[in-house]
Structure 1
Amino acid sequence: MRTLTPQQALLLSLAAAVSTIGMKTAAWWLTGSVGYLSDALESLVNLAGAGFALVMVSYAQEPADSRHPYGHGKAEYFSAAFEGGLIFLASVAILYTAGERLLNPQPLGELGIGTALSVGASLINFLVARVLFQVGKANRSVALEADARHLMTDVWTTAGVVIGVAIAGFTGLTWLDPVIAAAVALNILREGWQLMHRSVDGLMDGAQSEEEIAAIETVLQSFAAEGCRHANLTTRVAGAQRFAEVDIRVPGDWSVTRAHALADAVERMVEQQTRTRLKTHIEPI
């Protein structure tokens, strides 16, 4: 799936959201289950989240300008925060509906077709989530990974709803239906909190992962044979973009031209092998 661009992957997510909204809404209409209603509401969140993510991912890929010399990569974090906020609103709506149904229980309708529609929608979400994970990892996209994680939460939510509603239908314990819906709301509320926490953490200029830093260190050490050393490596992440700074220490009798040429070579090699924009500072050994 690496041939897909982030925008194409999110368009696929949008198409899946529209399809699953229709299928899950039909499942709710056929069964009258608030558990299936809660599942349909979560798909509405998927639709809004994927749409906003598409806008933010496109903006994040805009080239750097005079006002944003380090690019627009952090725009992706707003997508994750937006989706987390939508999840919170959906959770409140589901809890309200579940509470009303718990106080005024109603019998469930036709479960067979409704359950089949819900399971089919869950399968679509599972397949799309796999695509989003792969494309997001290949492009270091926070927005795609957030959307993928939310879709996988939707998959497990649907599994729980289907099992719970089936038990309620076969046993006649109609109170199980709103209880399941409330459990769904709490579960997606947890997912929403994690998305918002991750977006805030990303805006705080966190360092790259240990694996990414190790890859940069490997490239820097490969230049030791040239007679230089490095120190004070610092890194930061801005959405899909990676930045780093390092001191390059060279013999004191080197000319400015020679030191500058080495620094350029180091920066090029780091960017080619780790996709990190490196800024060097020359110092004497």
Structure 2
Amino acid sequence: MHQHASLNRSAAIASIGTAVFLLALKGWAAWSTGSTAMLGSLADTALDLVASIATLLGVWIASQPADDKHRFGHGKAEAIAAMFQIVLISISALAIASRAVEEFLAGSTVEKAEGGIAVSAAAIVLTLMLVAWQRHVIRKTGSIAIQTDSVHYQSDLMLNLAVIVALVLDHYAGLRGADPLFGIGIAAWLGWGAWRASQDVLDQLMDHEWPEEKKDRFLQVLARHPDITGVHDLRTRTSGNKDFVQFHVWVDPNMTVREAHRVMDELEHRLAVEFPGTEILIHPDPEGLVDEAGQAGLDVLPPIRVNLDQS
């Protein structure tokens, strides 16, 4: 967990450094060219900086250990930081679209396109390097805050490429209106990226169940234990990069408390190998005991009976 926290912080700090450098470059380019597309790119980078700072704060809080007031840890701080980013991206998209419409109606033209093209090309190279590091960190930690930040920077690749195309068409090909039209397209792209990123964030904040394939893999591990004859009331959720699971299991009603405890320890050990870092809560029941809804386990995974009733 300490290594994951360090990786997440490194990705957030790299994101902040990249945003600061690009903010200075794009500020000069937007001032010298008067390009709406470049101005949109500048606004996006400014929000990148704010969002990256929020990401750093989020992953730092999420890495703090559980305490008396937060017994399940601070993992949801990542989701909150990611939601803050999504709000900023949405605001940025609306502002860029509004500016683009104004420039299109006014018939504004682009000047000194060479500088804007050079800056956008440099931004693409730096962003590619950052996204590569972010993907490495996400594979290692599964951080949703870094994932959302990476989605934003991946959209920046398309954004910077669109700026180059807009400048070339407007300044060199003489297609007046190409720059603000590309600005509108950039705004739409950012809005779509914010919508996609919001799905995973809302799932965490609302304690959405694991994907079915992950739950099936979890049940398969339980099915391999010879002393378990049924599983029911399985409940799962994710907070930050930590998973939580609770469920009831059927065991021989003639088992002693000590024997049942041994079985629970064995289950926890097997699950820890397949699902490291997962917090697991197991409740043993005598075989045949029905749940609160009055339903017994179902024959789903041999050799055990499995009931995924969430009541």
TM-score normalized with structure 1 length? 0.92
Counterpart position of 1:54: 56
Check if 1:231 corresponds to 2:231.
yes
Pairwise CA distance, 1:3: 10
Task: Kindly indicate whether the alpha-carbon contact (under 8 Å) linking 1:212 and 1:274 is maintained by their aligned counterparts in 2.
Answer: no
Q: How does 1:5-20 map to 2 (within 5 A)?
A: 5-20=7-22
Letter in 2 for 1:243: F
Check if 1:221 corresponds to 2:226.
no
Cα distance between partner residues in 1 of 2:57 and 2:16: 12
Q: How does 1:116-195 map to 2 (within 5 A)?
A: 116-195=118-197
Poorly superposed stretches of 4+, deviation over 4 Å: 1-4
Q: Deviations over 1:178-207 (max 9, x none)?
A: 111121112112222333343223211111
Pairwise CA distance, 1:41: 0.9
* Structure whose residues are more often helix by fraction: 1
Q: How does 1:107-122 map to 2 (within 5 A)?
A: 107-122=109-124
Pairwise CA distance, 1:80: 1.5
Cα distance between partner residues in 2 of 1:199 and 1:122: 27
Check if 1:81 corresponds to 2:94.
no
Letter in 2 for 1:228: I
Pairwise CA distance, 1:59: 0.8
Q: How does 1:21-32 map to 2 (within 5 A)?
A: 21-32=23-34
Stretches of structure 1 lacking an aligned partner (at least 5 in a row) = none
Pairwise CA distance, 1:121: 0.6
Report which stretch shifted further, 188-197 or 171-180.
188-197
Aligned residue for 1:173, secondary structure, equals coil
Q: Deviations over 1:60-82 (max 9, x none)?
A: 12212222221111111111211
Pairwise CA distance, 1:4: 5.8
Counterpart position of 1:265: 266
Aligned residue for 2:175, secondary structure, equals coil
Pairwise CA distance, 1:171: 2.1
Percent sequence identity over aligned pairs: 26
Aligned residue for 1:138, secondary structure, equals helix
Aligned pair in 2 of structure 1 residues 91, 161: CA closer, same or farther (>3 Å)? same
Aligned residue for 2:235, secondary structure, equals strand
Cα distance between partner residues in 2 of 1:235 and 1:197: 18
Stretches of structure 2 lacking an aligned partner (at least 5 in a row) = 288-311
Counterpart position of 1:253: 254
Counterpart position of 1:209: 211
Counterpart position of 1:104: 106
Aligned residue for 1:179, secondary structure, equals helix
Report which stretch shifted further, 29-38 or 95-104.
95-104
Task: Kindly indicate whether the alpha-carbon contact (under 8 Å) linking 1:27 and 1:117 is maintained by their aligned counterparts in 2.
Answer: yes
Higher relative contact order (CA 8 A, sep 6+): 1
Task: Kindly indicate whether the alpha-carbon contact (under 8 Å) linking 2:12 and 2:146 is maintained by their aligned counterparts in 1.
Answer: yes
Task: Kindly indicate whether the alpha-carbon contact (under 8 Å) linking 1:83 and 1:195 is maintained by their aligned counterparts in 2.
Answer: no
Cα distance between partner residues in 2 of 1:2 and 1:133: 13
Letter in 1 for 2:243: R
Aligned residue for 2:154, secondary structure, equals helix
Pairwise CA distance, 1:111: 1.9
Cα distance between partner residues in 2 of 1:20 and 1:150: 14
Letter in 2 for 1:251: D
Letter in 1 for 2:121: V
Letter in 1 for 2:41: D
Pairwise CA distance, 1:155: 0.6
Task: Kindly indicate whether the alpha-carbon contact (under 8 Å) linking 1:4 and 1:135 is maintained by their aligned counterparts in 2.
Answer: no
Aligned residue for 2:237, secondary structure, equals strand
Cα distance between partner residues in 1 of 2:213 and 2:189: 31
Cα distance between partner residues in 1 of 2:143 and 2:69: 23
- Superposition RMSD in Å: 2.0
Cα distance between partner residues in 1 of 2:213 and 2:130: 27
How many residues align? The count is 283
Pairwise CA distance, 1:266: 1.4
